[in-house]
Amino acid sequence: HPSVVPHYIFKDFYDLEPAKFQNKTNGITPRRWLLLCNPGLADVIAERIGEDYLKDLSQLKKLLDYVDNEAFIRDVAKIKQENKLKFAAYLEKHYQVQINPDSMFDVQVKRIHEYKRQLLNCLHIITLYNRIRMEPNKSFVPRTVMIGGKAAPGYHMAKMIIKLITSVGEVVNNDPIVGDRLKVIYLENYKVSLAEAVIPASDLSQQISTAGTEASGTGNMKFMLNGALTIGTMDGANVEMAEEAGEENFFIFGMRVEDVEAMDKKG
C-alpha cells in the first residue's frame, strides 16, 4: 500500500516532490487492547516478564523463554477458556444468543466491504457445512463462526452480504445432522465495546482481504495481542505480523499482490 499511494494515486506530485512522501503503519494501544479488555492475560504475562512491556511491546520477546513452559501454556489456555465463557454469557445477556464455549471461536469482525471478503468466509462456511453433510460420522472440531460488522447506509452489496450470511446461518444452525459442530452467529451492532468483549475470547482471527487492498488493518493486531491465531492473506500489516511471528506461526493463504496484479492485467 505505501507504494500504491506515491506511484499511482499521487504519481505526478510524487515525481515533483518525492521527499514529501513517507509512511507510518498505524497501530493499536496495548493499554486498551490488552490491559483493559483482557486483564487476565496481561497478568499472566506480567508474572513472567514484569509490567514494562505495556509501554514497550517489543519486550514481549522475553516470552520466548516460556514457549515450552507447561505452567505458562496452561495459564494462557485457562485465561482463554475463561474469556470464552464470559463472552458466551455476554452474548446471552445482550443478544439472547446461545453458543458452545467449548467450540473453536472463529471470528471475522470489521466493517462489511467486498475487499475484506466476508463473502469468502461465507463460502468457507458452506464448504464446512457440505463436508459435514457428506461424511456425518467423521469427527470435526466444533466451530462457532462469528461474523460481525456494519454496512455503510448506501452500500447495497454490503447489505446483501449480511443477508447472505444470516440466511446461511439459518440453514446451518437448524440442521439436525450438523448439530453443534457448526454454528454461524451474526454479531450485530459491532462497535469498540463489542470488540473488547469478543477479541479476548477468539481462537481464530480472520484477516482475509484481497492482497493489495488493506492499507494496514488494526483488527489483525488486536487479535494477535490477545493470543488468537491468524488465518490471512499477505496484505496490509499481516505481512509484518507474519514476519515478526514467523510464517510457521501464521496461516497464510491466497494470491500475493503480484499475482493479483498479473490476474487484473490479463482481465
Ligand X SMILES: *Cc1c(COP(=O)(O)O)cnc(C)c1O
Residues lying near ligand X in the complex (CB under 6 A) are found at 110-111, 190-192, 195, 217-219, 222
**What is the Cα–Cα distance from 78 to 91, expressed in whole angstroms?**
20
- Closest-approach residue to ligand X (CB): 219
Query: Would you state the cell numbers that stand for residue 215, as one nine-digit string?
Result: 492499507
- Of residues 36 and 192, the one with the C-beta less far from ligand X: 192
Between 151 and 182, name the residue whose CB sits nearer to ligand X: 151
Q: Distances in Å between the alpha carbon of 192 and those of 91, 107, 237?
A: 15, 15, 20
Task: Give 91's Cβ-side CA count (13 Å radius).
Answer: 22
* Min CB(191)–ligand X separation in Å: 5
Q: Cβ 112 to ligand X, closest distance in Å? A: 10
Task: Compare residues 80 and 117 and give the one whose CB is closer to ligand X.
Answer: 117
Sign of the alpha-carbon torsion through 64, 238, 257, 232: positive
- Return the residue matching grid coordinates 464470559: 86
- Asked if 214 contacts 116 with a C-beta cutoff of 8 angstroms, the reply is yes
Q: Give me the least distance between CB of 80 and ligand X, in Å please.
A: 20
Closer to ligand X by CB, 53 or 190: give it.
190
Least distance in angstroms from the C-beta of 192 to ligand X: 5
